[in-house]
Structures are given as C-alpha cells and as structure tokens.
C-alpha cells in the first residue's frame, strides 16, 4: 500500500482539485479542520488512491488531528484502494495511541483488506506483538458480540485469547452455546486454556444456556470437559435448576445423573484422601518413633563410648603409676647401702730401677 502523502491535484472537468482536508490532517494542522468543514469540504474526501484524512492522520501519527476528525464525524472504517482502513494504517506503524483513538471512535477491527488481513495482522507484520494481541482481543470481542464464528476462529488461530469477554461478559463459548452451535462448541473446547465455567454479567455459564435451550449434545460436551455443576448465577440457580425451571426434562435427568456421579466420585475421593491422610499420619508417627529410638541408641552409644574412654584413661593412669613405682624400687636394690669400710692399702714400694 502506498502510504506517502503529498499535496496533490487531480484534474477534473478542466479544473484542478485540492485535497485540503487530507493535506491539513497530514500536516497536523488540526485547528484548521473545523473551518475547512464549515466551508463545505468533505471530512471523508478521498484521493485517487482512496486515502482519506483519517488514513493520513493515522500514518503521520497526528493525534490531535485524528481526534478532531473523529469529533467532526470522519468515517474511521473507510477503505482505500487496497482495502486498508485507518486502523490498519495505525497498526502497521505501531502507534498504540492512534490505535486506541480509532478503537474508541468505533473503528471496526474485523474489516479485512484485499489481502484478507485484519488490522491486528499488520501490527504483527510490523513486529508489534503486544499491539497485535491487543487489537486481536478487541476484534474477538466484536466477533463474539456479532456471533461471527468465522472471525472468532480466524482470530483464535492468530493468537487471540479464547477467554476474552465482551462488556456483558460473554465469551465465544457462551455465545456458541446460547446459539446452539454444536460444532463451534466442539471446536472451542479443543482450544488450549479455555475456561468453560466463565460467567457473563448475570452469572450464566455456557452450560446454563445449553440447559435453557435443551441442547443435549452441548450439555454432554461441556460435562465431558469437566465443567463445574455447582456454579450459580446471580439468582442462585445452577444449570440443573435452569433445566428444571424451563422444563428441559432430558437435560435435567442428565444433569441429575451426573450430579450423583460427581457426588459419588467426590465422596470416594474424600475417603481416599482420608485414608491417605491416616496412612501419612501413621507413617509420620512410625518415623517419629524410629527417629526417637535412633536418637536414644545414639545417646546410649555416646555414653558407652565416654565411659570406655574414662575407663581407658583410668587404666592408663594406674599403669603409669605402677611403672614409676617399679622403676624406683629397682634403682635402690642395685646400689645397696654404702656402710662397708674401705680396706687399708699397703704403702707403695719405691722402685729400685734407678738404684735408689
């Protein structure tokens, strides 16, 4: 899509035509727009490419100009020659402020270009994933409100949140159940992370709407998906109550049977949990006793080791004392008492070697 904007004239009947509103919006001269409209210019004038002032304000990110165009009644869903709307243009630029202005001004996010893409796709192509997700969820809200199931699945495949709710709180599943769209419900229940128990503003769930209309197939599908039978609407009614009140005997019978099964299952599960808790408590008690016994045995071993160490120390002390005593006795016996007198020695004789 050609997005460049310039002051252009298109010849017609020999006279040049100026796109004053378009060029003024593109330039951001928002204060001049009201005067131009008052002078008779068309707020929705389009050039030869089908571009309007709203397209150009979105492309050039002229927030004030776009706000003024919205106030003056500009068509925010006008499509150019390629099928692009101002919202697609804003999405491609990644300007979240412009996008919000357009959405608040009732720009339609479900419109497709000639390439069969919606606005959120152009945000995705422009590498603006958060903006793409935001636009897709708004588009999904619109699709849900319109019961446009083709667009719903188109958007879900593109990453929109399956649990998106409209202002009255309806989800795609609630709308499909209310409309009796069995195959749509079947497909929606295969979408990851779907929450079948979501409630709209009056507290009604998809199961309640199916019970109200007596759609047995949808009731079975929702039950097989594990929907909560105990959910109540603002009047305190469950799906079973709804079926009874609106004389849907077959659905009421199905829900009663399932309620009994659920209660039996819950009772069995509760008993099993109780047994597991008792077993866990017994195991914990036995583990406690075992730990106590181990602690006592360890304490006993420690006491015995300390006693053995004390006895060994005492024996060592006694042995050392005995050794010292024995050594002292042996020394006294070897020397004996020094009481004997020394024997007299003979006087030395002089040597006669020298003739003395």
What is the C-alpha to C-alpha distance for residues 224 and 227, in angstroms, rounded to an integer? 8
pLDDT, tens digit (0-9, with 9 covering 90-100), for 209-242: 999 999 999 999 999 998 999 999 999 999 999 9
Look at the domain 162-306 and name its fold: 1.25.40
Q: Output the pTM of the full model.
A: 0.67
Check whether 8 has a pLDDT greater than 70: no
- What is the structure's pLDDT at 344? 53
Rounded Cα–Cα distance for residues 329 and 331 (Å)? 6
pLDDT, mean of residues 83-99: 97
Query: Fold identical between 17-146 and 162-306?
Result: yes
Q: What CATH architecture is 17-146?
A: Alpha Horseshoe (1.25)
Whole-number Å distance between alpha carbons of 168 and 93: 32
Residues 89-102, mean pLDDT to the nearest whole number:
97
* Separation CA 188–CA 182 (nearest Å): 10
Instruction: Parse the chain into domains and list their residue ranges.
Output: 17-146, 162-306
| pLDDT band per the 50, 70, 90 thresholds, residue 351 | very low
Residue 13 has pLDDT above 50, yes or no: no
Q: Looking at the predicted structure, is the pLDDT value of residue 353 above 50?
A: no
pLDDT digits (tens, 9 = 90+) for 147-176: 999 999 999 998 899 999 998 999 999 999
pLDDT over 80 at 267, yes or no: no
User: Burial letters for 196-234: b for 16+ Cβ neighbours within 10 Å, e otherwise?
Assistant: bbbbbeeebbbbbbbbbbbbbebbebbbebebebebebe
- Pull the structure tokens for residue 89: 């243009």
pLDDT value at 350 more than 80 = no
Strand boundaries in the chain, DSSP class E:
none
């Amino acid at each position: 899509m050609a997005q460049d904007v310039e002051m252009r004239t298109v010849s017609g009947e020999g006279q040049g035509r100026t796109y004053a509103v378009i060029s003024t919006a593109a330039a951001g001269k928002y204060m001049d727009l009201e005067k131009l409209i008052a002078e008779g210019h068309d707020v929705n004038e389009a050039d030869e490419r089908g571009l309007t002032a709203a397209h150009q304000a979105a492309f050039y990110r002229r927030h004030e100009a776009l706000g003024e165009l919205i106030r003056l009644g500009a068509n925010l869903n006008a499509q150019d020659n390629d099928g692009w709307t101002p919202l697609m243009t804003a999405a491609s630029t990644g300007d979240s402020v412009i996008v919000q202005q357009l959405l608040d001004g009732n720009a339609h996010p479900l419109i497709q270009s000639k390439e069969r893409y919606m606005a959120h796709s152009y945000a995705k192509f422009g590498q603006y994933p958060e903006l793409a997700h935001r636009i897709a969820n708004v588009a999904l809200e619109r699709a849900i409100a319109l019961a446009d199931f083709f667009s719903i699945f188109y958007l879900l495949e593109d990453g929109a949140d399956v649990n998106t709710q409209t202002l009255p709180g309806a989800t795609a599943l609630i709308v499909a159940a209310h409309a009796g769209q069995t195959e749509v419900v079947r497909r929606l229940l295969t979408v990851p992370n779907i929450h079948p128990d979501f409630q709209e503003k009056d507290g009604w769930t998809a199961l309640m709407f199916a019970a109200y209309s007596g759609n047995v197939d949808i009731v079975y599908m929702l039950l097989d998906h594990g929907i909560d039978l105990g959910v109540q609407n603002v009047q305190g009614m469950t799906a079973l109550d709804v079926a009874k009140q609106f004389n849907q005997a077959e659905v009421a019978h199905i829900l009663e049977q399932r309620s009994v099964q659920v209660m039996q299952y819950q009772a069995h599960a509760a008993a099993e949990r109780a047994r597991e808790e008792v077993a866990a408590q017994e195991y914990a008690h036995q583990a406690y006793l075992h730990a106590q016994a181990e602690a006592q045995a360890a304490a006993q071993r420690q006491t015995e080791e300390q006693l053995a160490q004390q006895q060994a120390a005492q024996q060592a002390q006694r042995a050392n004392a005995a050794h010292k005593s024995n050594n002292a006795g042996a020394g006294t016996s070897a020397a004996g008492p020094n009481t004997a007198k020394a024997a007299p020695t003979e006087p030395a004789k002089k040597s006669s070697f020298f003739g003395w």
